[in-house]
Amino acid sequence: MLVLKRLIAFIVTSVAVLGSGAALAASGHPEPWQLGMQQGATPVMDDIIWFHNLLVWAITAIVLFVLVLLIIVVVKFNARSNPTPSRTTHNTTIEVIWTVVPVLILVTIAVPSFRLLFFQLNAPKADVTVKATGKQWFWSYSYPDSKFEFDSLMVQEKDLKPGQPRLLAVDNEMVVPVNKVVHVLTTGADVIHAFAVPAFGIKIDAIPGRINETWFKAEREGIYYGQCSELCGKDHAFMPIMVRVVSDKDYTAWIDQAKKKYATDDSHPTAVAAVDGAH
Ligand SMILES: [Cu+2]
């Protein structure tokens, strides 16, 4: 009886933990016990999640089908229950079926796969452009339309304020307006880094000497976190990405204030500017 009670308690707790994990997945960063992906905040990520689920169902159906076939073979056609095996080597009908059905399955997968690929790669016209430069080991964000640039460093564990997630919070975050197309240009100042924000469905290499481009349109205000996703050296794990998505009004206010705070003095180029000018 006690065992049964404990088992029921365990199941109830597990379901509660998993349920709350799903609810917390909208927080813009991973949660303990979370299953599945973070909730999408952009149309691209919504499509990625949809496509992922389609593939999971397809894989599950195929695996179960093959498993059933294997069980039938093991049970019905072993030496004891089937002492005189059939001598059949060809069956045209079944050969056509096992060629055509996989082709149809692959085509069914390929159509949404290519649609998603084009959706990700065909960036709509930009409302805002931000250049993210990966450096050992932090990010610099530059807003070319407003002519300022700033560095974004991880908040050390001892300096974390309540509510700031460990290894993800930064001192100066990238700020973008909600429901606007943001182009992210990435490059590396020293080695290859990668700019990735899971809730936006973006991940793109930041390579020294060249500019890569991706885009997102965040549909919900909030804070979204990502990390450098290319092994870039000793502190690779400590150069997080933090994006704050705000209303148009708050964005304009932030731009005004940021222009003053991060004003670049053209007569005294910083080390950062010197690196940019070197290509
Ligand atoms: Cu990096």
Among 12-16, 113-117, 151-155, the least confident range: 12-16
Expressed in angstroms and rounded, the spacing between residue 212 Cα and the centre of ligand 1 is 15
Listed as own residue / partner, the contacts of 163-169 with beta carbons closer than 8 Å and 24 or more positions apart are: 165/29, 165/225, 167/237, 167/238, 167/240, 168/29, 168/225, 168/227, 168/240, 168/242, 169/225, 169/240, 169/242
Beta-sheet strand order (sheet of 148-152): 148-152, 138-143, 128-135, 182-188, 212-216
What's the gap in Å between 152 CA and the centre of ligand 1?
13
pLDDT value, residue 27: 81
- Gap from CA of 188 to ligand 1 centroid (Å): 9
Question: For residue 233, how far is its CA from the centre of ligand 1 (angstroms)?
Answer: 7
Q: How far is the CA of 194 from the centre of ligand 1 (A)?
A: 6
Cα of 219 from ligand 1 centre, angstroms:
27
Tell how far the Cα of 235 is from the centroid of ligand 1, in angstroms.
8
Question: Could you tell me the distance, in angstroms and rounded to a whole number, from the CA of residue 206 to the centre of ligand 1?
Answer: 8
CA atoms of 217 and 220, how far apart (whole Å): 9
pLDDT of 110-130, one tens digit each?
999 999 999 999 999 999 999
- In Å, how far from its chain's centre is CA 243? 14
Average pLDDT over residues 75-90: 92
Phi, psi of 45 (to 5 degrees): -65, -35
Whether residue 263 has pLDDT greater than 70: yes
Tell me how far apart the alpha carbons of residues 182 and 177 are, in angstroms, rounded to a whole number: 8
Provide the token pair at 144.
Answer: 């070319």
Whether residue 274 is predicted with pLDDT greater than 90 in this model: the reply is no
pLDDT in tens, 18-60: 554 444 456 899 998 998 899 999 999 999 999 999 999 999 9
**pLDDT for 238:** 97
Q: What is the mean pLDDT of residues 236-263?
A: 95
Pair of tokens at residue 96:
């056509």
**pLDDT score at 276:** 47
Higher pLDDT, 163 or 70: 70
The pLDDT tens digits for 188-204 are 999 999 999 999 999 99
Taking the centre of ligand 1 as the mean of its atom positions, its distance from the CA of residue 227, in whole angstroms, is: 8
